[in-house]
C-alpha cells in the first residue's frame, strides 16, 4: 500500500539548531489545523484509510458488535447535593447521557425527572456536559458545556426545581467546575482568556488561569479576580469550600506535577478574607478532605509514598490520622460518620470506612476492577460508589457510612436489552525481569494451548493508575477470541509516588522498557507471537505506543497510538502542553532535551525500517494533545515505511481528546481500531 498514500508535502527548508543539533521539521505546515492545505490533507488521509478499512472482512463484525455494546442501557453514579439526587442515564440510543433529578434516592430509582438533555444542545451530538454543581440553597444547577469535545467550558444555569433556564452565562473557562460560595450568590471558576477563539482548534500556548468569582445575574466582565500567577503560565488553581462553610480551600499546582500548595481564604459576609498559607511550597501532594473541628483533614504523600491521611493545624503541622498502609491511596472523602477511603492494592480497588478519628476501619466488599466514581459528603450518611469490570460498565452501590451496609442499585439503569458480555478469566501476572505487573484477560472458554492474537494496553504517566476496568472495546475484542493484556507501568499511580517517579523525567525510558518487557514475556510464555501482538494507548499512552514502535518495531504486528504526544521537542508550545513538563521535562533545558530527543516518536522514525501496521487516531478539535502531533508523525511514517504493512491515519471531525464523544462515534472508532488490529494479527471473530 506504500505507493498509495496521499501526498504529504515536505518542506526541507525548515531546519532548526537546538542545543547544537540540527532538527528538521518538514511537515511543520501541518501544525495549522485551520489551513486549507491541512484540511485537504485530513480529507485525503481519511479517504485512504476508509478505502483500506472497507476491504477488511472483520470490520462489519466489529461494527455490529460495537454498536450493540454502545446500545446497552447504562447509568452513572448518583450524587446527592443540596437536597437533590442526580444521575446520568442513557437508554442506549442517545449520543450523550441525560441528567435526571429527584428529591429522594427512591424517587431517582423510580425514574426521576429529566433536568437536562445534552442531546438537544447540538445537532450532531458532539456537545457534552463536562461537570455540574448545585448551589447550597438547592436553587441553581450550574453545568459546564464542552463543545465538540474541546476542553473549553461555557457555564450556564438552570433552576433545579423547574428546569427553567437562567439568563446567566460564563465563557472561556477550563479545567474547573462551578464552586459555589455558601450563600449561593456567586461561584468561582478558572478563567483563561482565549484571544477571541475557544472553539477547540486553537493551538496557541495556554496562558495562566485566573481564579474568578462570578456573581449570579451580573455581567462576566464584572467578575472579581481572586487569584492568579501571571509570572507562571503553568500554575493551576483548584477551589473548594470546606464542609463547615468557613473557608475557601485553594489548591495550587504547577502543571501536572502532583506537588501542591494549600491556601485557605476565610469566608465571611459573602466575601473572602486574606489567604492563610497552610502549605506554601511545592513539596508533596496534599489534598483537602474535610474539617475536623478547627483542624484540616488532608490526604498527603509527605513521607509516605503510598499516601496517608493526616490532620493539620493552620500552620501546616501534620499529625497522623491513618498511617501509610499496604494500599496506594487514591481518594479520601468525608462522610457523616467520618471518612470513606479508596485505595489500590496491587492495582485493584478497596473501599474502606473509618471514624473521623481514624479508628474503626472496615472494608466494604463491593466488587469491581475499576472505580468509576465515589460521591460522599460530611453532610450525608450515604456514600455512592460506582465500579466497573473489564467487560461491563458502571454498577452503582449505596453504602451507609455509619453501618457499612451496602446494596447495588440496578434500578438506575433504564430497561432494555443489548449485548451480553462473554464470561472472562482475569489472571494477575508479573514479568520477572523488570517486575512489571499486568492483567491477562481472555474469554473463559479459551485455553492457551496455542499463541493467540493479543492486544496490549498501557499508559505509564502522570501518576494515573491503570486498572482492569471497562473500556467499550474490551468486550468486543474478548468476544472475538482475542486476548487482552493491561499493563501497570512505572510512571503510573498504581503503587504510589515512588512508582511514578521511576517513570518520569530522566526515568521516562523505564516506561517504554516496562512495556517492551511485558511484550517479550507474553511471547516467552507462548501467549502470543510478534505476528499476533498489537499495542494500544491513548494520550500519554499514545506517546508510549509511538516510542515503543520506533524502538522495537520487530516486537509487534500492530500499533494503535491514539491522540498521542509525538513531537517531544515542540509539545510545550501548544495549548496546555507546557504543563506536562513535570513528567516529560522541557526541551529548552539542554539535559532534558537529550532525554526527550532520545525517545521522541517523531524524531526516531528511520528510513528503511519496516514498521508495524499502524493506525493513528486523533480528533480535529483536540485542544489538549493537538492533532499536529499525530499528523506530523503519520506524514513522516508514511514517508519512511519500508515494509508492506499499511500505516494510516483516522482523524475524527468535530471531536476532541475523547471526553464527551457521542456514542456512535465511540462505536465507530473502536470498530475500526479492533478490525485493523484483528486483520493484521490474524484474529477471526468466532
Residues designated catalytic = 539, 622, 657
Q: What is the DSSP letter of 223?
A: P
Q: Reduce the DSSP state of residue 541 to 3 states and report it.
A: helix
Closest by alpha carbon to 366, among 342, 397, 339, 389? 397
| Residue with grid cell 455512592, as numbered in its chain | 384
User: Residue-wise over 582-621: b if at least 16 C-beta within 10 A, else e?
Assistant: bbbbebeeeebbebbbebbbbbbbeeebebbbbbbbbbbb
- Roughly what angle, to the nearest 10 degrees, separates helices 663-681 and 36-53? 60
Which H/E stretch holds residue 166? strand 165-173
Closest CA to 634 of 11, 12, 97, 41: 41
The cell numbers describing 193, all together, are 482568556
Tell me how far apart the alpha carbons of residues 441 and 437 are, in angstroms, rounded to a whole number. Answer: 13
Cell 476492577 sits on residue: 369
Closest to 308 (Cα-Cα) out of 290, 294, 321, 292:
321
- Do the Cβ atoms of 220 and 204 come closer than 8 Å? no
Torsion on CA atoms 248, 251, 255, 256, rounded to nearest 10: -120
CA–CA separation, 653 and 618 (whole Å): 9
Q: By three-state DSSP, how is residue 578 classified? A: helix
Residues facing residue 113 across a β-bridge: 101
Amino acid at each position: 500500500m506504500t505507493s498509495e498514500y496521499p501526498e504529504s508535502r515536505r518542506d526541507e527548508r525548515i531546519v532548526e539548531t537546538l542545543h547544537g543539533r540540527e532538527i528538521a521539521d518538514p511537515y511543520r505546515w501541518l501544525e495549522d489545523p485551520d489551513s486549507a492545505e491541512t484540511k485537504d490533507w485530513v480529507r485525503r488521509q481519511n479517504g485512504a484509510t476508509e478505502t483500506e478499512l472497507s476491504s477488511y472482512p472483520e470490520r462489519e463484525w466489529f461494527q455490529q458488535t460495537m454498536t450493540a455494546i454502545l446500545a446497552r442501557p447504562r447509568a452513572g453514579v448518583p450524587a446527592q447535593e443540596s437536597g437533590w439526587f442526580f444521575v446520568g442515564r442513557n437508554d442506549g440510543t442517545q449520543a450523550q447521557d441525560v441528567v435526571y433529578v429527584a428529591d429522594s434516592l427512591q424517587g431517582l430509582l423510580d425514574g426521576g425527572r429529566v433536568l437536562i438533555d445534552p442531546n438537544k444542545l447540538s445537532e450532531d451530538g458532539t456537545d457534552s456536559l463536562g461537570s455540574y454543581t448545585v448551589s447550597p440553597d438547592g436553587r441553581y444547577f450550574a453545568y459546564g458545556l464542552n463543545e465538540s469535545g474541546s476542553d473549553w467550558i461555557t457555564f450556564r444555569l438552570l433552576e433545579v426545581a423547574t428546569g427553567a433556564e437562567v439568563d446567566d452565562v460564563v465563557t472561556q473557562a477550563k479545567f474547573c467546575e462551578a464552586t459555589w460560595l455558601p450563600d449561593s450568590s456567586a461561584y468561582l471558576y478558572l478563567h483563561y482568556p482565549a484571544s477571541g477563539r475557544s472553539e477547540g482548534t486553537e493551538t496557541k500556548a495556554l496562558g495562566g488561569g485566573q481564579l474568578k468569582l462570578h456573581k449570579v445575574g451580573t455581567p462576566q466582565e464584572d467578575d472579581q479576580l481572586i487569584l492568579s500567577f501571571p509570572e507562571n503560565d503553568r500554575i493551576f488553581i483548584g477551589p473548594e469550600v470546606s464542609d463547615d462553610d468557613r473557608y475557601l480551600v485553594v489548591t495550587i499546582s504547577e502543571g501536572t506535577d502532583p506537588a501542591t500548595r494549600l491556601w485557605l481564604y476565610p469566608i465571611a459576609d459573602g466575601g473572602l478574607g486574606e489567604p492563610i498559607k497552610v502549605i506554601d511550597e511545592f513539596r508533596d501532594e496534599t489534598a483537602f478532605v474535610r474539617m475536623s473541628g478547627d483542624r484540616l483533614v488532608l490526604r498527603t504523600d509527605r513521607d509516605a509514598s503510598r499516601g496517608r491521611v493526616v490532620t493539620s493545624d493552620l500552620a501546616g503541622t501534620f499529625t497522623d490520622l491513618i498511617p501509610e498502609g499496604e494500599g496506594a491511596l487514591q481518594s479520601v472523602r468525608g462522610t457523616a460518620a467520618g471518612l470513606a477511603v479508596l485505595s489500590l492494592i496491587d492495582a485493584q480497588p478497596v473501599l474502606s470506612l473509618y471514624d473521623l478519628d481514624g479508628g474503626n476501619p472496615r472494608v466494604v466488599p463491593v466488587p469491581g476492577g475499576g472505580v468509576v466514581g465515589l460521591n460522599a459528603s460530611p453532610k450525608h450518611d450515604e456514600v455512592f460508589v460506582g465500579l466497573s469490570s473489564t467487560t461491563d460498565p458502571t454498577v452503582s452501590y449505596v453504602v451507609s457510612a455509619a453501618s457499612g451496609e451496602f446494596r447495588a442499585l440496578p434500578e438506575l439503569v433504564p430497561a432494555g436489552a443489548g449485548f451480553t458480555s462473554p464470561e472472562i478469566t482475569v489472571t494477575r501476572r508479573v514479568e520477572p525481569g523488570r517486575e512489571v505487573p499486568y492483567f491477562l484477560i481472555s474469554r473463559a472458554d479459551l485455553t492457551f494451548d496455542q499463541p493467540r492474537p493479543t492486544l496490549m494496553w498501557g499508559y505509564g504517566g502522570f501518576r494515573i493508575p491503570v486498572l482492569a476496568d471497562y473500556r467499550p472495546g474490551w468486550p468486543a475484542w474478548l468476544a472475538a477470541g482475542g486476548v487482552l493484556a493491561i499493563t501497570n507501568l512505572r510512571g503510573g499511580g498504581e503503587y504510589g509516588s515512588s512508582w511514578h517517579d521511576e517513570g518520569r523525567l530522566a526515568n521516562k525510558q523505564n516506561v517504554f522498557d516496562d512495556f517492551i518487557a511485558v511484550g517479550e514475556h507474553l511471547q516467552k510464555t507462548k501467549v502470543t507471537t510478534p505476528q499476533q501482538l498489537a499495542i494500544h494507548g491513548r494520550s500519554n499512552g499514545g506517546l508510549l505506543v509511538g516510542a515503543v514502535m520506533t524502538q522495537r518495531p520487530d516486537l509487534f504486528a500492530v500499533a494503535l497510538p491514539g491522540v498521542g504526544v509525538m513531537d517531544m521537542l515542540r509539545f510545550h508550545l501548544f495549548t496546555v502542553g507546557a504543563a506536562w513538563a513535570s513528567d516529560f521535562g522541557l526541551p529548552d533545558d539542554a539535559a532534558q532535551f537529550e532525554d526527550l530527543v532520545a525517545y521522541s516518536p517523531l524524531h526516531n522514525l528511520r528510513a528503511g525500517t519496516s514498521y508495524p501496521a499502524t493506525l493513528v487516531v486523533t480528533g480535529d478539535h483536540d485542544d489538549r494533545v493537538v492533532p499536529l502531533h499525530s499528523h506530523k508523525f503519520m506524514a513522516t511514517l508514511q514517508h519512511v515505511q519500508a515494509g508492506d504493512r499499511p500505516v494510516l491515519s483516522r482523524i475524527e471531525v468535530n471531536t476532541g481528546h475523547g471526553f464527551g464523544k457521542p456514542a456512535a462515534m465511540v462505536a465507530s472508532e473502536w470498530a475500526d481500531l479492533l478490525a485493523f488490529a484483528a486483520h493484521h494479527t490474524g484474529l477471526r471473530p468466532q
